[in-house]
Amino acid sequence: MRLVLVGAAGRMGRAVEAVALAAGDVEIAARVDERPDLSGGNGVWSAEAASVLARGDVVVEFSSPRGAREAAAACVARGAALVSGSTGLSSEDEAAMRTASRKIAVFRASNFSLGVAALRIALQAALEAVPATWDVEIVERHHRLKKDSPSGTALALADDIGKARSLPGSALRHGRQGAAGPRPAAEVGVHAVRGGSWVGDHLVLLAGEGEWLELRHVAQDRAAFAHGALAAARFVTTAGPGWYTMEDMLRAPGRAAR
């Protein structure tokens, strides 16, 4: 499999490169980064995807909302499949990704780790098992350089909770301050902690009277996301145009993610 890697000089780009190298059957055919000066000189580098896209079978993108938009437009122009992991996309960006998926395979995940996919399944089961009166809060921790808050994964978890409980989008409560008063039942608290070098930590608290339950995933190393992104890249090379998620990959016959 030949990859075009967008955001190649970044933390995730370097993690994907390391996992691809160890995989043996994956070649990084071209690296795209708006900072090609960080390349260190190895292989093919470009400041934009369009000019190098023909070199690869699939584009893997971990860059920025603009990088995701540009990669999707370049993939549509060439009919190439896209695996996209950038977070912090606006609703317009997300809509543009959906439109692109009518012409090409687009695999989007706010979190490519298999552990977070399992956390989301476990959360569904827990929400079905406990009374709807139990309060649900999300606490996420990330490194001090993370640009978007709360994390895309925290928002995906909040979305899962909102759907399970039929809550409106306005049910999200981003932190509390001052005379916040008693906690309304129809609320999902989301708390973003930033500091140090945390790769990614998501804790969902379900609190009842006299007891609570914690479901937690900790990513210790970006390799966790990189493995999932490469599995997604393998998945989309044989998929037709459409919108694909971790759920589709986990449900696929033969479980490509294993």
Binding site for ligand NAD (CB under 6 A): 6-7, 9-13, 32-35, 62-64, 66-67, 70, 85-88, 109-112, 225
191 is an active site residue: no
User: Does an H or E element contain 19, and which?
Assistant: helix 11-23
For Cα atoms 214, 215, 220, give the angle at the middle one, nearest 5 degrees.
120
Taking the complex as a whole, how short is the minimal distance between the CB of residue 109 and ligand NAD, in angstroms? 5
For Cα atoms 34, 36, 41, give the angle at the middle one, nearest 5 degrees.
165
**Can you give the length of the chain in residues?**
258
Task: Please return the burial class of 72, using the count of CB atoms within 10 Å of its CB with bins 0-12, 13-18 and 19+.
Answer: buried
User: Which of the 8 DSSP states describes residue 38?
Assistant: G
Question: Residue 194 phi/psi, 5° resolution?
Answer: -125, 135
Name the residue nearer to ligand NAD (CB basis): 225 or 235.
Answer: 225
Question: Residue 82 phi/psi, 5° resolution?
Answer: -130, 130
Residue type, 202: H
Name the residue nearer to ligand NAD (CB basis): 34 or 248.
Answer: 34
Active-site choice (143, 146, 163, 227): 146
142 is an active site residue: yes
Name the residue nearer to ligand NAD (CB basis): 112 or 244.
Answer: 112
Active-site choice (142, 202, 217, 227): 142
Taking the complex as a whole, how short is the minimal distance between the CB of residue 113 and ligand NAD, in angstroms? 6
User: Which of the 8 DSSP states describes residue 184?
Assistant: P
Report the C-alpha gap between 92 and 75 in whole angstroms.
18
Taking the complex as a whole, how short is the minimal distance between the CB of residue 169 and ligand NAD, in angstroms? 21
Name the residue nearer to ligand NAD (CB basis): 36 or 241.
Answer: 36
Taking the complex as a whole, how short is the minimal distance between the CB of residue 244 and ligand NAD, in angstroms? 14
Taking the complex as a whole, how short is the minimal distance between the CB of residue 210 and ligand NAD, in angstroms? 36
Report the C-alpha gap between 151 and 204 in whole angstroms.
13
Name the residue nearer to ligand NAD (CB basis): 85 or 150.
Answer: 85
Count CB neighbours of 21 within 10 A: 11
Catalytic (active-site) positions: 142, 146
